[in-house]
Each structure stands twice: as C-alpha cells, then as structure tokens.
C-alpha cells in the first residue's frame, strides 16, 4: 500500500466573503490547484497565529506558503514566528513552495532583502521570461521549457536582493526576480499560479472600491485578461512536480 502524501498549507491571508462563497475558502483554491486525489492537505491560518507543532513537521512531504496583504519585511509576531518555522523546515530540507508573500518570506529567511517594488505595484495578467540556462531539461518544468509563462500578479513588494545561494529562474520587464530556487527544496514564485480571472477581477473591484487604485489602473488590470488567460495547467504541472518529487536543476 502506497503511503499517503501529506502537505501543509500556511495561509497568510484571511478568506474574503467572495472566496468563502465561491470556493469555500482559500484552502480549497490551493488544494484544487496543487493537490491530487488521496493526499492529505492541512491548513494553518498563520496570519491568525495558527501554526503546526514543530514535532509534527516531519509528517509532511511538503509545504506551501500563500500570499498576503501584509509585507514580508514587517515584524509582526506571526511573521517572525513563520520565519522561524521556515528556517526549521529549510534545515530539514523539506520542500517549500513560496507564492508571492511566501516567495518573499523565503528570500528574507535565507538572507535576501525584500521591500517595496521599485517600479510600483502590479495587479494583472503578465508574462514572465524563463532563464532557460538555469533550468535542467526534464526537471519539474518538463522536457520543453517555455520562453515565457503567463501568470496573474498581485503585489506591491518584491525581492530586492536575492539570497547568495539562490538561482533566478524567471524575470519580467519590471521585476528582476519573478521566480527563484534554492537547492532542490525551495521554489519561489512572485505571481499567483492558483489565481483565475474571477479572483483577479474580485481583487481589482475590491481595491478600487477601497480607493487604493485609480479607475485607469483597474481598467488596465481587467483588460490584461480580455483575450487570454494564465497558463494554469502548466503552473499546476510545474508546482506539483516540484512538491511531489521531481528534481529542479543542477
């Protein structure tokens, strides 16, 4: 009998009423993207101070850190506790997939620098350019590594200085670090592979309603998805391959 794979999801955001009503919460959004039948996925609402016991970390095959409205460079108690936990998981060489805020937290823990995005915030569908020389053919990207991948982006911060041992895997016109890896167990993505058009439009309407962005910004965000969508199937494959056993690079 094959042993059941078990993963932990560190939720650094609260569920909006829209996400609760439409998907039953962000837990379901992530599991529907990265999970497979027969696996166990446990969620910990780290933003609310909910963490696993350290003695239970070894039970998990991998971890995912979500996005957040908070900045990864803040020093709230829960962020400092999350950093300590990531250090321990890193020392265990367990796999961690960091998304947006999670991508930045891993950079911070490993000695990098995170701060406000130098070219401003992003809330749209965008293309990131893959650094093909950094990726081994047949790795978790598959046999054919694409030139670019479309992904939904929602952030106001960025990794300003990479950790010494990190390898940039993708960049874009405005951001030097769209994706990076460290050794074979840390894989970090600035964009949101789990997001779809519905979630993006909800976020755009929300920040517009709160007066955080002008109408022109909101219109441009929605226009980015008029004729195409993110490469969700490819992102699912890449992230699942990473979490579930494929190796990344030399």
Whole-number pLDDT of residue 234 = 94
Mean pLDDT value of segment 130-158:
89
Whole-number pLDDT of residue 14 = 94
| 83 tagged catalytic | no
> For residue 143, with 0-12 CB atoms within 10 Å meaning exposed, 13-18 middle and 19 or more buried, which class applies?
exposed
Whole-number pLDDT of residue 231 = 96
pLDDT tens, residue by residue, 43-95 = 999 999 999 999 999 999 999 999 999 999 999 999 999 999 999 999 999 99
Single out the catalytic residue among 27, 155, 185, 192. 192
| 192 tagged catalytic | yes
Whole-number pLDDT of residue 2 = 60
| 188 tagged catalytic | no
Single out the catalytic residue among 122, 158, 178, 194. 194
Q: Are residues 169 and 5 in contact, defined by beta-carbon separation less than 8 angstroms? A: no
β-bridge mates for residue 8, sequence order: 42, 63
Q: Is the pLDDT of residue 248 over 50?
A: no
User: Which band of pLDDT confidence, cut at 50, 70 and 90, is reported for residue 4?
Assistant: confident
Quick count: other Cβ atoms within 10 Å of Cβ 17?
8
Whole-number pLDDT of residue 246 = 56
pLDDT tens, residue by residue, 197-222 = 999 999 999 999 999 889 999 999 99
Single out the catalytic residue among 27, 100, 155, 188. 100
């Amino acid at each position: 009998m094959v042993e059941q794979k078990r993963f932990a999801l560190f939720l650094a955001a609260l569920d909006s009423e829209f996400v609760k009503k439409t998907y039953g919460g962000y837990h379901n959004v992530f599991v529907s993207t990265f999970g497979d039948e027969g696996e166990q996925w446990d969620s910990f609402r780290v933003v609310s101070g909910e963490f696993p016991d350290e003695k239970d970390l070894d039970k998990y095959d991998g971890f995912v850190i979500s996005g957040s409205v908070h900045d990864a460079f803040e020093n709230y108690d829960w962020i400092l506790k999350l950093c300590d936990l990531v250090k321990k998981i890193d020392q265990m060489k367990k796999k961690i997939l960091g998304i947006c805020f999670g991508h930045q937290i891993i950079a911070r823990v490993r000695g990098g620098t995170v701060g406000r995005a130098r070219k401003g915030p992003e809330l749209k569908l965008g293309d990131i350019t893959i650094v093909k020389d950094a990726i081994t053919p047949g790795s978790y990207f598959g046999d054919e590594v694409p030139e670019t991948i479309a992904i939904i982006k929602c952030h106001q911060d960025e990794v300003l200085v990479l950790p010494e041992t990190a390898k940039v895997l993708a960049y874009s016109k405005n951001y030097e670090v769209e994706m990076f890896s460290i050794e074979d167990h840390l894989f970090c993505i600035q964009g949101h592979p789990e997001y779809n058009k519905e979630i993006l439009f909800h976020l755009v309407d929300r920040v517009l309603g709160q007066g955080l962005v002008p109408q022109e910004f909101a219109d441009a965000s929605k226009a980015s998805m008029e004729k195409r969508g993110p490469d969700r199937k490819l992102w699912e494959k890449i992230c699942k391959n990473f979490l579930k056993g494929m190796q990344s690079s030399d």
